[in-house]
Amino acid sequence: MKRDPFVPMPETAAAKIAEDHGLVLSKVEISRGPRRLLAIDGRVAPGSTLTVMGPSGSGKSTLFAFIAGFLDPAFEASGAVLLNGRELTRLPAEERHVGLLFQEALLFPHMSVGENLLFALPARLKGRKARHAAVEAMLAEVGLADHFHRDPATLSGGQAARVALARTLVAEPRALLLDEPFSRLDQELRATVRDLVFTRIRQRAIPAVLVTHDPADAEAAGGEVIDIGEGGSRDAP
């Protein structure tokens, strides 16, 4: 399994790291006023995907916002989120290294396809040439070589979804949150893009949380499935 490139791994603590690695949701409970929306306790191993299912309004997106660092102050949350042993809960969103994929591709309309990816590429990689090459390579990886200068508005739905994935991955996230990213695509495309996403997650060995109401998504993700269902909560095991 490929090592997470961000985390220095001192050999002496190897055992502890195996345990730490991945995304840990430790006794997470989110409520709004007197109503408890959800409770989750568990660990997502690197390369695997936890699927959270439930009807709209069940708090799926709230969990998403909590992990990514955008929880509305109207909600109360307790518990901790740890990513590779580092607690995220107190960090601002920009320091969490959690990649997001939304229902819509949300490509920035004022940037070309390539500029969307350059925006995401870490600054560590310096030099115009090297940065462009990295972006071209990433685009080729999602089957969109030679699309660098395209205007996002001219892309098809499937292409936009792949650019969005490429943009998220090129930032080298340490975890990935997927908010129904396939629901806007038609049946045929859905299978291809879904396959692409989960293959990358496994290859890069990053933990992912998928929020969806499509059982086929859950099946493709292949990991644990949590149904936060009608009651709006699932008690900690």
Partner 1 sequence: MRAAVPATTSFPRFSRVVRPGFSAWAIAGLLALPVGVGLAGAMLPAVGYMPALGGTTFSLAPFRALFAQPGLAASIGLSLASGLLTTAVSTLGVALFLAAFHGTIGHRVARRALAPLLAVPHAAAAFGLAFLIAPSGLLFRLLALPFGFDRPPDLLILGDPLGLAMMAGLVAKEMPFLLLVALAALSQADPDRRMALARSLGYGKAAAFLMTVWPTVYRQIRLPVLAVTAYASGVVDVALILGPSTPAPLAVRLLGWMNDADLSLRFMASAGAILQVAVTGAVLGIWLLGERLTGAMRRQAATTGHRYRRDTGFRIVGSLPVALAGSAVFLGLLLLLVWSFAGFWGFPDVLPPSYNLTTWERVLPAAAGPMATTFLVAILAASAALALVVVLLESRRCQFRAAAGRAIRLQPAIAGLIYLPLIVPQIAFVFGLQVLVMALRLEPTILLLAVVHLIFVAPYVALALADPWYALDPRYEQVSASLGHGPITRLFRVRLPMLTAPVLTAVAIGFATSVGQYLPTVLIGAGRLPTITTEAVALASGGNRRIIGAYALLQTLLPFLAFSLSGMLPRLLSPQRRAKRAP
Query: Is residue 166 exposed (0-12), middle (13-18) or buried (19+ Cβ within 10 Å)?
Result: buried
CA 198 remoteness from chain centre: 11
Q: What residues numbered 79-108 form the site for partner 1, per CB under 8 A?
A: 92-100, 102, 106, 108
Count Cβ neighbours within 10 Å for each residue of 186-211 and write b for 16 or more, e otherwise: eeebbeebbebbbebbbebbbbbbbb
231 touches partner 1 by CB under 8 A: no
Q: Does 74 bind partner 1 (CB under 8 A)?
A: no
Per-residue x/- track, 39-58, partner 1 (CB under 8 A): --------------------
Total Cβ atoms within 10 A of residue 36: 16
Task: Please choose, from the candidates 168, 153, 173, the residue with its C-alpha nearest in 3D space to the C-alpha of residue 112.
Answer: 153
Binding mask 139-178 for partner 1 (x = CB under 8 A): --------------------------------x-x-----
- Tell me how far, at minimum, the Cβ of 69 lies from partner 1, in Å: 7
* Binding residue (CB under 8 A) for partner 1 from 16, 19, 27, 70: 70
Q: What region, left, alpha or beta, does residue 45 occupy, with left being phi > 0 and alpha being psi -120 to 50 degrees?
A: beta
**One of 32, 36, 86, 131 touching partner 1 (CB under 8 A):** 131
Contact pick of 20, 29, 41, 115 for partner 1 (by CB under 8 A): 115
Residue 7 contacts partner 1 per CB under 8 A:
no
How far apart CA 204 and CA 6 sit, in angstroms, is 12
Which residue in 17, 82, 125, 189 binds partner 1 (CB under 8 A)?
A: 125
- 46 vs 173, beta carbon nearer partner 1: 173
Nearer to partner 1, 84 or 233 (CB): 84
Task: Note whether 45 and 217 are within 8 A (CB).
Answer: no
129 binding partner 1? (CB under 8 A): no
Piece of the chain touching partner 1 by CB under 8 A; list 8-16, 78-86, 117-125, 211-219: 117-125
Q: Which pair of structure tokens corresponds to residue 95?
A: 């320091």
For 139-195, the DSSP string reads HHHTT-TT-TT--GGGS-HHHHHHHHHHHHHHT--SEEEEESTTTTS-HHHHHHHHH
Nearest to 141 by CA among 112, 111, 170: 170
CB of 237 to partner 1, least distance (A): 29
Chain residues binding partner 1 by CB under 8 A are 68-70, 92-100, 102, 106, 108-111, 115, 118-125, 131, 171, 173
